Structure 1
């Protein structure tokens, strides 16, 4: 499991996450990068300022991320 420092280095702020999602829409890529960073859906959703359910829906290809979300 990745340490907090590793998590921070891989996905360090909400703005970076939004840019990442703008370039990576494929649900498998979102899940792969999240798990590679050792993050839970809850952790990544918190950094993106979205619900865990929204992130889960993206990963399951139920809907796509809103590309207009902004880090707060």
Structure 2
């Protein structure tokens, strides 16, 4: 089993955050933008493919570098 841990993405929930707070969040993301659903979907597609058949037990952070272990 693998897990995907997305960061802040362009969703209705995140877009409801007050603009000044959202600017602070984006400023804390090294790539300087929110993620988009396609960023997560591309990883899901890879993990579901035969190309990732040897990847197991991993947690993938998709957050633009905001949290790095």
| TM-score over 0.5 (shorter chain) | no
More relative contact order, 1 or 2 (CA 8 Å, 6+ apart): 2
Answer with 1 or 2: which has the greater Rg. 2
TM-score by length of 1: 0.30
* Structure (1 or 2) with the greater helix fraction: 1
